[in-house]
Amino acid sequence: MRASERTLTVIDQRSGRTQELFRLLVENVIDYAIFMLDPGGRVTTWNPGAERLKGYTPDEIIGRHFSAFYTPADVAAGKPERGLRTALAEGRFEDDGWRVRKDGTLFWANVIITAIHDETGEHRGFAKITRDLTERRRAEGERIKLAQAEEAVRLRDEFLSIAGHELRTPLNALLLHSANLALLLRRGDADASSLLDKAASVTNQGHRLNELIERLLDVTRLSSGSLPIAPETVDLVSVVKEVIATYQPQAEQANSPLRLTAPECVSGIWDPLRLGQIVANLLSNALKHGGGKPVDLSVDTDGAVVRIAVRDYGVGIPREQQNRIFERFERGGAPRSDGGLGLGLYVVRCLAEVHHGTVTVESDLGKGSTFTVSLPLGSSGAEEGRSPEEYNG
Amino acid sequence: MTEANEENVLIVEDDPETAKALAEYLNSQGYRSMIATNGQEAIDVLRAGERPCLILLDIMMPVKNGWDFRDEMLNEPELASIPVVVVTADISAVTRAMRLRLPLLKKPIDPGRLMTEVARHC
């Protein structure tokens, strides 16, 4: 035998061994379905992994179109053909999705389709590798659910701790004032006006405590849908002006002028108390996070819907937190020490919703936030510019 | 530099009503006091030369909380030795205060215990 012939024989043997190894590899893999499709998408080979995953024996499936593995909806949407087209155009196609077993059950599959060409460049078909990720997907789903539940518990615990702190603050002041009052009375040398002053402080803190408890109860009532709503004909602009007047001292302290742009009067059917609460919560937030800059309030209407906007020029809210801030207990990254219960915007949302309205936020970090509440004027068709008296008449 | 006043208690408290009530109570008991509404204001007051006989320190405050104030205080040798009593409604503060060996008064404040602490230092 000549040297070159010997070499050829060795190569043949090697190539034969390699082919044998590949066959063994494919036939022994049971965690992956590995099979071939002809250029038209019909199954031409079938490994034990494919049989285990999809339930077909080679006799049952070879020669059939691979769309048998797809749900009717996916077949109707042309998904199998699209996979082949992409694989042919780009070399490969990868997809995660539901696939159908022989017995009709579904499994969550990761699928890779690779276009196969021979050495002359002719398209010979497709290699398809499928993995069953159902269990992994389920575990992932469970993990996410668990994390969400843990987050809800964490938020509730943080809320309880903050609520406790917030309730103790006026209680603490109240007890100190009353201790002080007792001290002055015991000593017997204080004049009536300073005693009255201390008594007033005790009463004020009692009211403050009561207001906090009312707010907490509101949240419970809102969550259970049992908040009493008493709609009547109201001029929204007057309500906004009243709230502004209440917050004037706080605005001066925060160095934030309050500016209002509004028509003379916008009448509608709302609960005036709750309307005031909406505006107060938004204004209080704007002062808290407004960084000592002006706060702009505006009221405008198209005759069917009224929009109340409260705009600050403060820190703003990161985009990823903007859709969470209206949830219960959510503080949107506000520090624990900001004196809030983390309920204000949740209450605004609920109160807007009981009035068949909405609340939205637009915010840029470092530039400030605009909260807009949109409320229908009410079923009775109240109009802009008419005073409540006129409307009632 | 302001004259050091041995009778002055520094109240570091963000809630104005609580601060006012504390100040009035101390005043009725014959102690002078001043108020800082957060940790930063308090550190500014100390850096300006005030040397209170005692600092009543709230923890949860905006701008600078009580712990951060305490850390900064300890970094300045002149301020480190001023006595501090933590006054808080935050239960989780108890362990931290113990670890830092700081006396702690829980809100609502017991006036008797408050005066014991004040009398010890002022």
Q: Shortest CA distance to A237 belongs to which of A287, A307, A137, A336?
A: A307
pTM here is: 0.56
Question: 């002022």: which residue's tokens?
Answer: B122
A21 at the B interface (CB within 8 A)?
A: no
Average predicted confidence (pLDDT) for chain B: 89
pLDDT at A3: 61
Instruction: Give the number of other Cβ atoms within 10 Å of residue A9's Cβ.
Output: 11
pLDDT at B121: 92
Q: Please answer whether residues A288 and A353 qualify as being in contact, where contact means their C-beta atoms are separated by less than 8 angstroms.
A: no
Pick from B14, B62, B89: CB nearest A172: B89
Distance CA B43, CA A191 (A): 37
Distance CA A234, CA A308 (A): 14
pLDDT at A187: 86
Instruction: Give the number of other Cβ atoms within 10 Å of residue A128's Cβ.
Output: 24
Task: Give me the residues paired with residue A131 across strands.
Answer: A32, A110
Contacts of B29 in chain A (CB under 8 A): 183
pLDDT at A207: 87
In this complex, do B89 and A184 lie within 8 Å of one another by their Cβ atoms? Answer: no
Contacts of A196 in chain B (CB under 8 A): none
pLDDT at A238: 94
In this complex, do B65 and A337 lie within 8 Å of one another by their Cβ atoms? Answer: yes
Q: What is the pLDDT of residues B18-45, one digit of tens each?
A: 999 999 999 989 999 999 999 999 999 9
Cβ contacts of A313 within 8 Å, gap of 6 or more: A290, A291, A293, A294, A367, A368
DSSP A65-120: BGGGGS-HHHHHTTHHHHHHHHHHHHSEEEEEEEEE-TTS-EEEEEEEEEEEE-TT
In this complex, do B21 and A180 lie within 8 Å of one another by their Cβ atoms? Answer: yes
Max Cα distance, chain A (Å): 130
- Tell whether ipTM is more than 0.90: no
Cβ contacts of A29 within 8 Å, gap of 6 or more: A47, A48, A49
Interface size between A and B, measured as CB pairs under 8 A: 74
Which candidate in B13, B15, B105 is best for mutational testing of the A interface (most A CBs within 10 A)?
B15
B15 at the A interface (CB within 8 A)?
A: yes
Contacts of A180 in chain B (CB under 8 A): 21, 24-25, 28
Q: Please answer whether residues A292 and A255 qualify as being in contact, where contact means their C-beta atoms are separated by less than 8 angstroms.
A: yes
Distance CA B88, CA B14 (A): 11
Interface of A with B in 183-222 (CB under 8 A): 183-184, 187, 198, 201, 204-205, 208
pLDDT at B2: 41
In this complex, do B17 and A204 lie within 8 Å of one another by their Cβ atoms? Answer: yes
Interface of A with B in 309-368 (CB under 8 A): 335-339
Question: Where do runs of H (alpha helix) occur along chain A?
Answer: 3-28, 48-54, 58-61, 72-76, 79-90, 134-187, 192-224, 236-253, 272-289, 319-322, 344-354, 388-392
Q: Shortest CA distance to A276 belongs to which of A363, A200, A218, A335?
A: A218
Could you state, in chain order, the average pLDDT of each consecutive group of 10 residues for chain A (393 residues)? 62 77 83 92 94 94 95 94 94 94 94 93 94 92 90 81 83 90 87 88 88 83 81 93 91 92 94 92 91 94 95 91 81 58 85 93 93 83 37 34
pLDDT at A335: 55
Q: Shortest CA distance to A109 belongs to which of A118, A119, A122, A100?
A: A100
Cβ contacts of A312 within 8 Å, gap of 6 or more: A256, A285, A286, A287, A289, A290, A291, A293, A295, A296, A368, A369, A370
Phi, psi of A232 (to 5 degrees): -150, 175
How far is the alpha carbon of A176 from chain B, nearest alpha carbon, in Å?
Answer: 6
Which candidate in B13, B14, B25 is best for mutational testing of the A interface (most A CBs within 10 A)?
B25
HSE-up (13 A, CA, CB side) for residue A251: 19
> In angstroms, how far is CA B122 from the centroid of its own chain?
13
* Tokens encoding A238: 């007057």
Q: How confident is the model at residue B6 (pLDDT cuts 50, 70, 90)?
A: low
pLDDT at A338: 55
Contacts of A204 in chain B (CB under 8 A): 17
In this complex, do A180 and B61 lie within 8 Å of one another by their Cβ atoms? Answer: no
* Tokens encoding A355: 């009035």
How far is the alpha carbon of A155 from chain B, nearest alpha carbon, in Å?
Answer: 16
In this complex, do B61 and A183 lie within 8 Å of one another by their Cβ atoms? Answer: no
Pick from B18, B28, B29: CB nearest A172: B18
Map residue A299 onto helix, strand or coil.
Answer: strand
pLDDT at A382: 37
